[in-house]
Structure 1
Amino acid sequence: MARPTRFRASVVAALVGALALLSAACTPGSENAAAPPPTDRAVQTDVAALGPVTLTVWDQEVRGGQNEQMEQLNAAFHQRYPNVTIERVSRSFDDLATTLRLAISGNDAPDVVQANNGRADMGAFVAAGQLLPLRPWAQAYGWDERYPASVRQYVSYTPDGKVFGEGEVYGLPQVGEVVGIYYNPAELQRLGIAVPSTWEEFEAALAAGRAAGAVPMQLGNLESWPALHVLGTVQDQLVPAEQVTDLAFGRDGASWTTPENTQAAQKIAEWARAGYFNDGVNGVDNDQAWQAFARGESPFLIGGTWLAPDLAAAMGPNVRFMPPPPPAGRPVSATGGTGLPFSITTGSDAPDAAAAYLDFITSPDAMRVLTETGNLPVAGTAQQQPPAGLSQDVFAAFAAVADGGQLLPYLDYATPTMADTMGAALQDLLAGQQTPEQFLATVQADYTAFVDQNG
């Protein structure tokens, strides 16, 4: 999902003009959008016949299990294809978001990049003609069979970048994601609180934890995107699934200012006023929050499955995971989809080698490596054997939501600017500087402006 960030006085002036031009060129629907790359081309799948190749790969797989699986797969790829050297540039999610836009537009663009699915990143890169549509290689390697339509929609755009969820495929994800609730069984037992099985019980557990003098839930919202996950979790329990989907994909006719969305925003404000979060959430970063949870400072943490390897390493059996327990009578619903997909840039001088790399790191063998390193593979999930404990919880949660429940898109997919708009407005909502109604009006103004322009 898109998680925005906020470069040095001597450099800023030189970058302002370039960024302005780039922004115009990269905005979906912009008059300056580049002609889309062709969707048909001859494909070479005999990697050895390509001769010596150096592939520059930019990724954000920096956490423990994430980095481990990339190191293993890169080494295995080079062993199979010794003529291909991989130059890996690994950056945190936020650093990648800051630097990728400039790198991908330069004369020496990386060959393979992890580009956020959202409109502000992948959508903008597609509109500017900076990513290759993958249809030729999908046909050669059988990727349509590997990835069902429900997954392909998260990496699909029309060539002008305007319509998300349809058109050409521009990336391949490795992992599935679901945002749920981490909990500390020992801390719940100390507080005399049972593991909740419904949304009503979850809210009661928060209240009981607070009444017992505990901080019920950790949240680090300095980067502003983590609160989107909290809002999404609440919204998924209170708002009809079709409303959430229409809003997240930026469809005409959807509205943020509905009674159900108002109820969700009010709930976030109520939780903040009641002290359900740690103090100063807007001054605490996401890593600090999960680390505080890992130290036992709260019984609950709302977060994505990408945190599982680090939390398991830090907490062992004292951490479990569940999808948000639904209100009585409703199906289990959670925010999620895919991790950041791997894409091929139009600046790559070795797209066939890059496509072979994408095929390798998303193959059935790669899915087994992902499982062994504590990650959640997005393809062939049911065929994997996760270890007992947290990994098993994560696999079960993803299956429950994706197969029998409602897996709903990230909210910042809606518009190119929604991550920044909603992130800042949620900071204000949590700080009591905006009412729920003002928060929703701010978000709706961004949404309406985009839908009107994009129509």
Structure 2
Amino acid sequence: MNRAPRFRRLAAVAVALSATTALAACGSLGGGGGGGGVAEGDGVITFWHYYGDPHGVPLEAVLADYTEETGVEVEARFIPYDDFNRTLQQAAAAGELPDVALINAFDTAQMADAGIIEDLSAYVEGWGEQDAYYETGWESGQVDGAAFGIPHLADVYALYYNEALLTEAGVAVPTTWDEMEMAAKTITESGTASYGMAMSGIEGAEGATGILLRTLAAGGDLADFGGEAGVAALESIKRMTESGGLSEGFLTWNEDDAMAAFTNGEAAMAINSASAINVVRESAPDMKWSVAPLPADETEATYLSAENLTIGAGSGDADAAWELIEWMQQPSVLEEYLPARNKLPARDDVPGAVTDPVRATFADQLVNAWAPTGDLAARSNEALTIVQQALQAVISGTASPADAAATAQAAIDEAVGS
């Protein structure tokens, strides 16, 4: 199989994607377990995704490479993320689902229960590569013991730090959250940076990532946010804000805003995912920086951001759709695609995708990644939004950490039907 055309295309895509990001500021054919070959369809694989520019560029390039190598046409359709699930539901009602849908991993159970995606267990059994995947990511595609999704890629969070600013302030890279609070406070008080640490706290699910990470480190998770770990996390972020180590403005920041504060030198540290690597490199080419695992408390943990490849229910091209999924998950394909996409592999046998030492630090954290499961997975965005509201109440002073955590727990329980 000739890999050269794909390598050249993805190399070009990596350059184009890197430039666009800077301007914007985010098995062989026939090898499928289902028997191989196109089923009753028209020979064109429809592929729906929610990757806008620049992220869709490498995805559609790799789909074009599949067509070049196999002769099988893939028709890609971009649907904005906020409209994606609703569009799938409408397509299911009309009997017009795509052959392949790239979905948020934590929507898999909901999509399976609604009959929108197919059970892939027979394909997976014939394929036999499920043990190559990190457990947390693989489990996101399992529903009642059956495989409904194949992990497409992964992402996790770590701590970005400006080496020069930490040295100037006389602080070491924090390895515990107590050290994080002290380091952030010291940096701010020394005047080395406007504040020690930056993270997103904006309204909605995105703004809950930082407080969730702190909760995970304290030994809790999203399902029991009202317990000691959630209270400890709220208290920790409150102390950091009151000390000036974290700007109160973080409640209006999305992840891009947090990284802008880091790259322009306003913040000496930032919590973000591997997706921000190229942003830092393009926006601050002269900065001496690195990444470290997130600080630990009771445990060392990070949060998994993932997507799954699925087959639309009733696909006339199910075998062909599976062959595309299987091809896309070959290590040799992922080694070229993932760096251009600026993401991590969901499987542990793709060393060529993480040769960059910064990316390798993120990849090493995949074994410590947490993700919601079961009923919580289907309602995770709602639950995270509730947690952000608790954070906002604590920082604004309208509720104590204990009261805010308890209120959040009651709302989460109601959302997931507990």
Normalising TM by the smaller chain, what interval?
Answer: 0.7 to 0.9
Q: CA deviation at 1:101?
A: 4.8
Segments ≥4 residues shifted beyond 6 Å: none
What is the SS of the residue equivalent to 1:71? helix
- Residues 223 and 286 of structure 1 are in contact (CA less than 8 Å); yes or no, is this contact kept in structure 2? no
Question: What amino acid maps onto 2:371 in structure 1?
Answer: P
Q: CA deviation at 1:418?
A: 1.3
Structure 1 counterpart of 2:272, from 303, 311, 314: 303
- CA offsets per residue over residues 6-53 of structure 1, 9 Å max, x none? xxxxxxxxxxxxxxxxxxxxxxxxxxxxxxxxxxx9924235x87853
Structure 1 counterpart of 2:153, from 167, 175, 180: 175
- Residues 290 and 301 of structure 1 are in contact (CA less than 8 Å); yes or no, is this contact kept in structure 2? yes
Note if 1:207 corresponds to 2:185: yes
- Residues 133 and 348 of structure 2 are in contact (CA less than 8 Å); yes or no, is this contact kept in structure 1? no
Q: Which residue of 2 aligns with 1:54?
A: 44
Structure 2 counterpart of 1:334, from 263, 282, 301: 301
Q: Which residue of 2 aligns with 1:79?
A: 68
For 1:365 and 1:351, locate their aligned partners in 2 and report how far apart those are by CA, in whole Å: 23
- CA offsets per residue over residues 82-138 of structure 1, 9 Å max, x none? 2323223164x55646755545554433332222232xx323222111111111221
Q: Which residue of 1 aligns with 2:103?
A: 115
Q: CA deviation at 1:295?
A: 2.0
Q: Which residue of 1 aligns with 2:143?
A: 157
* Aligned pairs for 1:216-365 within 5 A: 216-239=196-219, 243-244=220-221, 248=223, 255-316=224-285, 318-327=288-297, 333-337=300-304, 339-365=306-332
Give the number of equivalent residue pairs.
380
Give the direction of change, closer, same or farther, for the CA distance of 1:156–1:297 in structure 2 (3 Å limit). Answer: same
Q: CA deviation at 1:73?
A: 1.5
Q: CA deviation at 1:207?
A: 0.8
- Residues 40 and 316 of structure 2 are in contact (CA less than 8 Å); yes or no, is this contact kept in structure 1? no
**Taking every aligned residue pair, what percent have the same amino acid on both sides?**
21
Question: What amino acid maps onto 1:139 in structure 2?
Answer: E
- CA offsets per residue over residues 173-215 of structure 1, 9 Å max, x none? 2323221111122333344433334433322210112212422
Q: Which residue of 1 aligns with 2:369?
A: 407
- CA offsets per residue over residues 348-378 of structure 1, 9 Å max, x none? 3322222122112211112211454342112
What is the SS of the residue equivalent to 2:195? coil
For 1:310 and 1:103, locate their aligned partners in 2 and report how far apart those are by CA, in whole Å: 36
For 2:161 and 2:209, locate their aligned partners in 1 and report how far apart those are by CA, in whole Å: 16
Instruction: State the superposition RMSD in angstroms.
Output: 3.1
Give the direction of change, closer, same or farther, for the CA distance of 1:124–1:308 in structure 2 (3 Å limit). Answer: same
What is the SS of the residue equivalent to 1:321? strand
For 1:351 and 1:177, locate their aligned partners in 2 and report how far apart those are by CA, in whole Å: 28
For 1:340 and 1:151, locate their aligned partners in 2 and report how far apart those are by CA, in whole Å: 9
Structure 1 counterpart of 2:174, from 179, 182, 196: 196
Which segments of 5 or more consecutive residues in structure 2 lack a partner in the other structure? 1-31
Q: Which residue of 1 aligns with 2:351?
A: 383
What is the SS of the residue equivalent to 2:272? strand
Q: TM-score, normalised by structure 1?
A: 0.73
For 1:57 and 1:275, locate their aligned partners in 2 and report how far apart those are by CA, in whole Å: 47
- Residues 344 and 359 of structure 2 are in contact (CA less than 8 Å); yes or no, is this contact kept in structure 1? yes
Which segments of 5 or more consecutive residues in structure 1 lack a partner in the other structure? 1-40, 159-166, 249-254
Q: CA deviation at 1:298?
A: 0.8
Note if 1:129 corresponds to 2:118: no
- Residues 41 and 315 of structure 2 are in contact (CA less than 8 Å); yes or no, is this contact kept in structure 1? no
Give the direction of change, closer, same or farther, for the CA distance of 1:107–1:50 in structure 2 (3 Å limit). Answer: closer
Q: Which residue of 1 aligns with 2:411?
A: 446
- Residues 110 and 347 of structure 1 are in contact (CA less than 8 Å); yes or no, is this contact kept in structure 2? no
Q: Which residue of 2 aligns with 1:163?
A: none
Q: TM-score, normalised by structure 2?
A: 0.79
Q: CA deviation at 1:304?
A: 1.8
Give the direction of change, closer, same or farther, for the CA distance of 1:87–1:450 in structure 2 (3 Å limit). Answer: closer
What is the SS of the residue equivalent to 2:74? strand
Question: What amino acid maps onto 1:57 in structure 2?
Answer: F
Q: Which residue of 2 aligns with 1:45?
A: 36
What is the SS of the residue equivalent to 1:299? strand
For 2:50 and 2:252, locate their aligned partners in 1 and report how far apart those are by CA, in whole Å: 23
